[in-house]
Structure 1
Amino acid sequence: MTWISKLTTTFGLVLLAHSCYSAQEFSTFQSYRLSGTSQTAPAALPIDITIETVAALLIASLGLVLGTQQLKPIQWHVWAGKIEREGPGGAKNADDETVKDFVGNPFRFLETRPGFVDIRRQRKTFGDWVREGGSAK
């Protein structure tokens, strides 16, 4: 995460902690106030605490979103082409560092594997070999 996203996330979490503390203090004061009287209905949470809580959640969420990596393409062949064109520079995380498990083209194994076996061609070759006498050359 970059320092801007860390700062934004930290600010949002501090604001959230403050709003939680304010809500707890309000409920404590309400219960203390109601203990000496015959009232049973506590007052609703003040609007400023509610607004602070919502704002804190939005700010913390914004900080977390700012710190995420760029999304990789959904299609693997697009991502593999980018990696082949740009090399290790194409696989960077949010801190602009090369990903530790960078291996290059993720399809290298698929491109170098042997092809599928053609059973009909092998059967025809075997049949031709048997018709010719079946002896080793």
Structure 2
Amino acid sequence: MAWLSRPLTVIGLVILAHGCYSAHEHTVLSSTSVQHPTSPSATSLPLDIYIETIAATLLICLGLVLGSGTPEPIQWHTWAGKIEREGDSTSSDADKELRSNPFNALEARSGFINISKLRNDFVKYQQLGK
């Protein structure tokens, strides 16, 4: 659908620019013309400008949605399983092994330091040296 998304987005942007220009032109012309100050048409935009702006916004949104790729899975385990089965296609061969399992970074990191255990080991080491 990429061939359809770009023209829709461009057409929507052109129509939106025309709607913005029309709104600007209307406000400039209504401020310079002599009208009765209590007239509601002196301050409000015509309905066709509103419709043009809304239609252009919908066309732009439709073009952007059609142009987007397939969504990636949201759940971590689904993504991790897919990466483990297929491997990461964006990485080079050198770090393919590191990237093939998304949990490698969690499994390879050092844990928390247990200060009490280290102190006890040090005390035992000192007692052996005496």
- Is TM more than 0.5 here? yes
* Partner Cα separation in structure 2 for residue 4 and residue 47 of structure 1: 29
Q: Distance in 1 between matches of 2:43 and 2:113?
A: 77
Q: Which AA in structure 2 matches 1:106?
A: P
Whole-Å Cα distance in 2 between the matches of residues 5 and 49 of structure 1? 24
Aligned to 1:30: 30
- The question of 1:109 aligning with 2:105 is answered yes
* CA distance in structure 2 between the aligned counterparts of 1:54 and 1:6, rounded to whole angstroms: 19
In the TM superposition, residue 50 of structure 1 has moved relative to its aligned partner by 0.8
Amino-acid identity (%)? 50
Inter-CA distance 99–27: structure 2 relative to 1 (3 Å threshold): farther
Separation in 2, partners of 1:83, 1:43: 58
Question: Could you tell me which residue of structure 1 aligns to residue 77 of structure 2?
Answer: 77
> Judging changes above 3 Å, is the alpha-carbon distance between structure 1 residues 115 and 22 closer, same or farther for their aligned structure 2 residues?
closer
Matched length: 122
Shift of 1:3: 4.0
The equivalent of 1:51 in structure 2 is 51
1:61 is matched with which residue? 61
1:93 maps to none
- In terms of fraction of residues, the more helix-rich structure is 2
Which structure 1 segments of 5+ residues have no match? 90-97, 126-133
Alpha-carbon distance, 1:22 to partner: 1.2
Q: What TM-score does the superposition give when structure 1 sets the normalisation length?
A: 0.61
Structure 1 residue 99 displacement after superposition? 8.0
CA distance in 2, matches of 1:106, 1:5: 34
CA distance in 2, matches of 1:99, 1:67: 25
Gaps of 5+ in 2: 122-127
What is the deviation of 1:43? 5.3
